Amino acid sequence: MTPTPSSPAPGSALPLAGRLRTLVVPGIAASIALAILVVLGTWQLSRLAWKNGLVAQVEQRTRAPAIPLPSRDAWPRMSPARDDYRRVTVTGRFRHDAEAYLYHVAGDSRQADATRPRGQGFFVLTPLVTADGDTVIVNRGFVPTDRRDPATRAAGQVDGVVSVTGLIRYPEERGALAAPDDPARRTFYTRDLAGIGRTLGLEAAATAPFSLDADATPVPGGLPVGGETRLVFTNRHFEYALTWFGLALTLVGVFGAYAFQRLRGR
């Protein structure tokens, strides 16, 4: 009986040039994937540098002595890059009749603090008018949902001339998942100062293009609770960069092993 010859291993009968050709398509695909992973890792490193710079900048500005709020003629020269989180003091009278509300969930599960508010509620946004007629919207602080009505916190509706120290905050972009604002109830879900100003009937030319987050100075009656500006920023960009670069190294190792086996005819 004549023995049946065994089938050769796939690729073993190919010459070296043929084996190299079988690596062209996988090599192109692996190169594209590698380039994407490296770009993502490099982008995360650039985000890390930006975030570190932001954290240092915010810390420096929030610890600096408060300066008087710039007057209306200086507002066009101000910008978020130069003035966001800058600590200032302003004197004027609150317009409690034009109070608005910005939805907020107070508290941070990563940094629990029993002395600070927690849960759902609102930031109370109140226009403050200076002696020169300038208006700045002041975020006076947080109130829980059941204390939104000013009648439930009448002691905190301070009359007369007041001085407020706080941080300049510029408007924020509306997120894709943000709920729609409800101007009829003066309820907002994004710090859209232009929209809030229109709803409150404020004169655009006389109203600052930024708001002021009041500090934690106690308010009569205890509400609103100021000093709720979030100054701790999530910074995991280094972890993300390591992940992308790690995947890139893994891809190189896997493709190298694959190519080695193919060139050996396996």
pLDDT tens column, 47-64: 999 888 888 888 889 999
Classify residue 248 as left (phi > 0), alpha (psi -120 to 50) or beta. alpha
Provide the 3-class DSSP secondary structure of residue 148. coil
Q: Are 138 and 126 in contact (CB under 8 A)?
A: yes
Give domain status of residue 5, yes or no.
no
Least confident of 11-25, 143-157, 221-235: 11-25
Same domain, 111 and 205: yes
pLDDT at position 106 is: 80
Q: Which class for 160: exposed (0-12), middle (13-18), buried (19 or more C-beta within 10 A)? A: exposed
Looking at the 3D structure of the chain, how many domains does it have? 2
132's CB contacts (< 8 A; 6+ apart) are: 71, 72
| Judgement on whether residues 177 and 153 belong to the same structural domain of the protein | yes
Percent of the chain whose pLDDT exceeds 90: 65
Residue 109: per-residue pLDDT = 46
Q: Tell me, yes or no, whether 2 lies in a domain.
A: no
75 lies in a domain?
no
Residue 147's domain comprises 86-222
Do residue 141 and residue 209 come from a single domain?
yes
Q: How many helices (DSSP H) and strands (DSSP E) are in the chain?
A: 5, 8
SS3 105: strand
Mean pLDDT, the chain, as a whole number? Answer: 88
pTM here is: 0.74
Q: What is the mean pLDDT of residues 189-197?
A: 94
149-170 pLDDT, tens per residue?
999 999 999 999 999 999 999 9
Nearest alpha carbon to residue 125 among 110, 92, 103, 158:
103
- Check whether residue 109 and residue 194 sit in a common domain: yes
Rounded mean pLDDT, 181-205: 93
Give yes or no for a contact between 30 and 253, defined as CB atoms under 8 angstroms apart.
no
What is the Cα–Cα distance from 8 to 124, expressed in whole angstroms?
79
Contact 153, 147 (CB under 8 A): yes
* pLDDT value, residue 110: 47
Mean pLDDT of 77-98: 95
